[in-house]
Amino acid sequence: MWTRKELKCEARKKNIRNYWNCITVCLVMAVLVGKYPINIETLQIFHNAADRIHIESVQEVEKLLEKEHERWIKADVKKRMTAAYIGTLLISVISSAGSFICMALRMFHNMGSSGTSVEVMILSILAGCTFMTVFVVNVLMIGEARFFLENRRYQNTHLFRIFFLFRYGILKNPIWVMFRYTIYILLWSLTIVGGMVKSYEYSMVPFLLAENPKIDGKAAFALSRQMMKGQKWNCFLLDLSFIGWGLMGIFTIGISALFWSFGYRMAVRAELYAVLRKNAIEEEMEYYELCNDPYLIE
């Protein structure tokens, strides 16, 4: 049986010895796929907005809101608000990539001002986000898992290990399995608590693919369910234990998150996978033989 203290202790040791590469991997994931809430795209948008607006008082904020309200009234407010709401909601469900959402919001503004129809706006943004999620975001999620798994065992693991699927050309199966993973989480998220439960139940899928990119969907989902059986509540408490780091990230404008807690949390997940993988092999769970990379986990 694992404990939060043990996992975190091991994760800290592994991160400290390869500190800068761990930070860089999280920065790459933030910039390329927006996995973390801090990315260059977001910072640039806020910077440009601040330069244009120059808000210095509450009165100026009120004037700005009044001005924006008048602009929306003149431009068929109901139609635009409905389009923005529906599109943003669907994008948020399909992709958690912050940088792409920022791009999508700019597209709403640009397309709306040029007279593009609501249908074209929504379909274009959904198509773009879906493509990026399936072929980039999901693949790099597996690569990130691979990096932190290798970082457990090897010192100075190279940050470019997050691109290992691209390097070795092993893309077809991981893309298909992660596409199913995304669809399952999406559909279960439409229920009251199903999204949270299933997100924990299938949380080992990216790590299983990181160890064995050729594992098929049936085996990956079945093995993840078995590994997480009786562990979901403990994993929820494990995630809950990072609330302090989340608050510190807010107070430090994301500095502590980027320079420690993002990588720390992924390292803890890698430690958890190693423990659950060991249990699966010892208990000879169905498909356990597909956890077959002896150079990844001792």
Using CA atoms, how far apart are residues 298 and 279, in angstroms rounded to an integer?
13
Of the candidates 102, 180, 167, the residue with the CA atom closest to the CA atom of residue 138: 180
- Mean pLDDT computed over 166-172: 92
The arithmetic mean of pLDDT across residues 117-136, rounded, is 74
DSSP state of 192: S
Residue 297 pLDDT greater than 90, yes or no: no
pLDDT value at position 55?
A: 41
Mean pLDDT of 196-217: 95
- pLDDT tens by residue, 14-65: 999 999 999 999 888 887 776 665 444 444 444 444 444 444 444 554 555 5
Distance, in Å, from the CA atom of 175 to the CA atom of 35, rounded to the nearest integer, reads 17
Across 114-118, 173-177, 225-229, least confident range: 114-118
207 contact partners, CB below 8 Å, separation of at least 6: 145, 149, 269, 270, 273
CA dihedral sign of residues 143, 145, 148, 154: negative
Provide the pLDDT confidence category of residue 115 given band limits of 50, 70 and 90: low
> Per-residue pLDDT averaged across 250-269, rounded?
89
Residues 94-106, mean pLDDT to the nearest whole number? 48
Neighbouring CB atoms inside 10 A of 96's CB total: 16
Q: Are 94 and 123 in contact (CB under 8 A)?
A: no
List the one residue out of 38, 26, 7, 104 whose CA is nearest residue 263. 26
